[in-house]
Structures are given as C-alpha cells and as structure tokens.
Amino acid sequence: MDKKVVTRFAPSPTGKFHVGGVRSALYNYLYARKNGGKFILRCEDTDKERSKKEYEDYFLDVFKWLGLNYDEYYRQSERTAIYKKYLSKLIEEGKAYISKEEIKEEGQRSEVIRFKNPNIRINFHDEVLGDLSFDTTDSKDFIIARDLETPLFNFTNVVDDFEMGVTHVIRGQEHVSNTPRQILIGEAIGAPRLIYAHCSIILNEERAKLSKRDPLVLPALGYKEEGYLPEGILNFMSLLGWNPGTPEEIFTLKELVEAFSIERMQKQPAIFNVDKLHWVNKEHIKKLSGEEIEKNILAWLKPAYAGFRESILIKLIPVILERISKWSDVKNMAEKGELDFFFKQPEYDKSKLIYKNAALEKIVSNLGKAIVVLKNLDEKDFNKENIKTKLMDTADSLDSRGELLHPVRFALSGLDKSPDPFIIAEILGKNETISRLQKAI
Ligand code: GLU
C-alpha cells in the first residue's frame, strides 16, 4: 500500500509572509487534500535573531484569511530536545563532529558541529525540474549546528520532515541548492528519500525575477487590505506555475483540490500579471451572492459618502460592480469623485456636450427630443430598459446615434467616461434626469 501523503509548508518568521509563499503553501495544501493526506504547517524559527513573533502571527493570519486549514502546527523553537537527540546520535556514529573554529580577530576558538561529508554525487528526481545531479564535495564538512542546543536550518528541516512523516516537499526553487545537503543529512539519520517538486520562478511583467520589494507585490495581507477575495488570490496564485490542462481558469479552492496535480506543475517561469490578477478576482466577485456584493460595496463606499442615504447608495451598486475588480476600487472611485455626479448636478465645460462636429442646433434639438420621450415615460416605468428603448428609437431615427446619446450621457454625468446614460437616468430618477437635460439645453 502506498504511504499516506504528508506535505508541509515551513515558513521562517523573519519577515512578512510574501505572496510567493502563498503559492507553495497552496500547492502543498492541494496535494495533501487531493490525496486524502495530511498538511502540516511548521514555523522554522531556529534563527533566534531574525525570527519574530509578529511575523509568525502574520503568516498565521494569512492562513486564516485564505482558509488554508492545516492539520498540525509545529514550532521548531519548541523542538530543541529532538534535534539534540539526532545531533548526539550523528556524533556518536561519527557522522558529525564537533570542530573548533578559530575566530580570527580575537584569536578565540568556538565550537560548531559539522557534518562529515561523504563527498558523493547526489542524484535526485525533481517532479518539476527533472533529473538533477550534484557533486557535494564543494559543500565540504558543512556546519549543521552551532552546538547541541542550536541546530541550523538544513538540519532541523530534515529532522522534522523525517519525524513528521513528510512524503512530498513542494517549495520554491531557491531551495534546490539546499537539497543535496538535505539529502545527505537525511541519509545519515536514516530518513527515506522525499519526493521533491520545486516550483517555477515567478517573474514580473518585465520578465525580471520578482523580488519581495517589487511594487507589484504586496505582503500577503496587503491583498486583504486592498479588498481582494481570498479565493481570487488563491486562484491567481495557483496558475503561477501550474495549469489544469484545460482552458478553464476560474476555480474555487475546492475545485482546485480536484484539479491539482504535481505532473501539471510547470518548469518555465510564471509571469505575475496584475491584469490577470484583477480579472481572476473579478470573476470571483461575480460569483458572490447579491447580498454579499451589496454588503461589501456599501462598506467600501460609506466612508466617502457618510452622510448619504443608503437607499441612494444601493442604486449605485450595479454601476459600481461593473467597474471594479477588487473592493478598494470602490473606495478609489468614490475618493476620486467619479460617483459625485449621482449626488449633485455636475459642473462641466459645455462645449463638451457637442458630439464630434455636430452642429450646435442639432445637439440642442436632440436634447429636446430626449426630454420629450422621457417625459412620456411614467415614473414607475422609468427604468433602464424602457429608457434605453425610448432613447434608442429616437437616436436611430437620426443621422447619427451619437448626436443624441453623447449629449444625453454627458449632460447627466459631466464626465468623459461614465456608465451608459440609461442606467444613470434610472438612478437619478425622472425629475433629476429631465432637469439635467434642460440645464444642458
Ligand atoms: N524555512 C524555509 C523557508 O522559509 C522552508 C524550506 C522548505 O520548505 O524546505 O524558506
């Protein structure tokens, strides 16, 4: 019988958890869930100087926000006794030794624990990168601990994978170079070989390696603050270095569990394309229920329109929804005043009412025609469908539709770009619409 799949994600709490890490975390999660296995989260906080509690809390918050549930949680700082046992055993067996190091400046000696390198060639198969081969001689007898109480990253990482029964290691490519040393340590402690899958590198849109400082990239919770949906982020990250093998691109977390496979992780670099992120997130917004969309849009809208009646704000929801890809876009639209025309008559440069080279008289006459047909609509029938039918009928009878539709839209919004005039008219209501058209004339 095959061994139960156990995966782990092992962040070091030395900085704010980065969105790139979300991808490795997600793949480990998906692979474990797909195979009915176990997903472990392990805080690799052996570096006492650089590890901070706040960064541990940060990645825990990210996991919570994203809904990536783990089955077990460990902190390496609480496992010193375990590492000590393995270190002592290696020393006893002659596979590691205490060596006295010269500290040059002060002429002092300090002790470290070095791994006795068997100087062999290590071959391993990476599920993404293929067959790899490394000569480990260059690593010499490398340091695995400062002392019995202070093991270093490569050592604790290997001991824990063994102790925790990990079967698959899915992680970033920066760890490929650690792998041969980790395999050597693994063999020395009698651990079975792990299955490795190193994710493709992520590039920015200029095809340069995406760094943690790239302005494109926020620390993971930055996406929460910007009003992205967890499912949007997970979906987008899933496609950076994996593809489902079908044209389908939109997946819920549950669907990703179904669709994911290590075989479809790709070797070629993935591009962090912000437009795609926006598109994916928007697709997930569209999947939300009407109430959820309303609740979110109102929450992001209200700070800018604190004094306004909710009944008016609610009317704006369809217009806003069409133009956003994340919730903070709502706030930005409001702050830029792009919605102000709904609440007060717009001020504008009246020459802009004129469509292309149309004669002024024509524009004035067309605005008049629009008023006539709209006046004929009952208040209770004053909705975008009816408004559209009436205005389009009239516009179609003219030389150019634009000579009616443009001045009407501009008179209502005062903006070069705005939603179509039918929806604006519906939201403004009959009286306000007609009053704005009259003012334009
Ligand atoms: N603690 C390592 C890191 O943060 C994880 C290494 C691994 O996944 O094996 O990069």
pLDDT tens sequence across 289-298: 999 999 999 9
**Predicted pLDDT at 215:** 78
CB-based burial of residue 306 (10 Å sphere; 0-12 exposed, 13-18 middle, 19+ buried)? exposed
Ligand 1 centroid from CA 8, angstroms: 10
Ligand 1 atom 7: the closest Cα is on which residue?
Answer: 10
List the CATH code of the domain at 350-440. Answer: 1.10.10.350
**Whole-angstrom Cα distance, residue 418 to residue 210?**
35
Q: What percent of the chain has pLDDT over 90?
A: 90
Amino acid at residue number 208: A
**Predicted pLDDT at 83:** 98
**Predicted pLDDT at 207:** 92
Ligand 1 centroid from CA 386, angstroms: 60
Query: What is the best residue among 8, 12, 75 to mutate for testing ligand 1's pocket, by most ligand atoms within 8 Å of CB?
Result: 12
Q: Which residues are annotated as a binding site for ATP?
A: 212
Query: What is the best residue among 40, 44, 170, 173 to mutate for testing ligand 1's pocket, by most ligand atoms within 8 Å of CB?
Result: 44
Cα 354 to chain center, whole Å? 44
User: Which residue, 193, 104, 100, 172, is CA-closest to 143?
Assistant: 100
CA distances from 83 to 70, 148, 185, 189 (A): 23, 8, 12, 11
**Strand ordering across the sheet containing 96-103:** 96-103, 108-115, 143-145
Query: Is the distance from CB of 194 to CB of 186 less than 8 angstroms?
Result: yes
Atom of ligand 1 nearest to the CA of 12: 4
- Cα-Cα-Cα-Cα dihedral sign, residues 47, 51, 53, 56: negative
Ligand 1 centroid from CA 12, angstroms: 7
**Whole-angstrom Cα distance, residue 204 to residue 200?**
13
At what angle are helices 384-396 and 402-413 packed, to 10 degrees?
Answer: 140
Predicted TM-score (pTM) of the model is: 0.91
Q: What is the mean pLDDT of the chain?
A: 95
**Whole-angstrom Cα distance, residue 427 to residue 432?**
9
Ligand 1 centroid from CA 83, angstroms: 17
H or E stretch including 26?
A: helix 19-34
Instruction: Note the helical H segments in 360-420.
Output: 360-375, 384-396, 402-413
Residue 216 scores a pLDDT above 80: no
Average pLDDT over residues 286-311: 92
**Whole-angstrom Cα distance, residue 124 to residue 178?**
13
Ligand 1 centroid from CA 367, angstroms: 66
Average pLDDT over residues 132-145: 96
Query: What is the best residue among 175, 183, 198 to mutate for testing ligand 1's pocket, by most ligand atoms within 8 Å of CB?
Result: 175
Residue 2 scores a pLDDT above 80: no
**Predicted pLDDT at 109:** 81
CA torsion 270-276-277-283 (nearest 10°) is -130
Query: Is the distance from CB of 19 to CB of 233 less than 8 angstroms?
Result: yes
Phi, psi of 308, deg, nearest 5: -90, 150
Local structure of residue 264 (DSSP, 8 states): G
**Predicted pLDDT at 102:** 76
Ligand 1, residues at Cβ distance < 6 Å: 10-12, 44, 157, 169, 171, 175
CA angle 276/281/283 to nearest 5° reads 95
Atom of ligand 1 nearest to the CA of 153: 1
Ligand 1 centroid from CA 221, angstroms: 20
User: Which residue, 68, 77, 66, is CA-closest to 41?
Assistant: 68
Atom of ligand 1 nearest to the CA of 14: 4
Residue 106 scores a pLDDT above 80: no
- Work out the pLDDT band at 42, boundaries 50, 70, 90: very high
**Predicted pLDDT at 214:** 82
Domain 1-73+200-287, what fold? Answer: Rossmann fold (3.40.50)
Encode pLDDT of 43-91 as tens digits. 999 999 999 999 999 999 999 999 999 999 999 999 999 999 999 999 9
CA distances from 117 to 111, 122, 242, 386 (A): 18, 12, 36, 81
Beta pairing class for 168-171 and 143-145: unpaired
Query: What is the best residue among 171, 173, 174 to mutate for testing ligand 1's pocket, by most ligand atoms within 8 Å of CB?
Result: 171
H or E stretch including 113?
A: strand 108-115
Average pLDDT over residues 188-215: 92
**Predicted pLDDT at 30:** 98
Local structure of residue 209 (DSSP, 8 states): B
Radius of gyration for the alpha carbons in the chain, expressed in angstroms and rounded: 31
Q: Name 107's Cβ contacts closer than 8 Å, sequence gap at least 6.
A: none
Atom of ligand 1 nearest to the CA of 161: 9
**Whole-angstrom Cα distance, residue 210 to residue 204?**
5
- Work out the pLDDT band at 93, boundaries 50, 70, 90: very high
**Whole-angstrom Cα distance, residue 387 to residue 390?**
5
User: Which residue, 263, 262, 255, is CA-closest to 31?
Assistant: 262
Cα 183 to chain center, whole Å? 32
Q: What percent of the chain has pLDDT over 70?
A: 99
Ligand 1 centroid from CA 170, angstroms: 10
**Whole-angstrom Cα distance, residue 376 to residue 390?**
9
**Whole-angstrom Cα distance, residue 354 to residue 358?**
6
**Whole-angstrom Cα distance, residue 185 to residue 144?**
9
Beta pairing class for 72-75 and 38-43: parallel
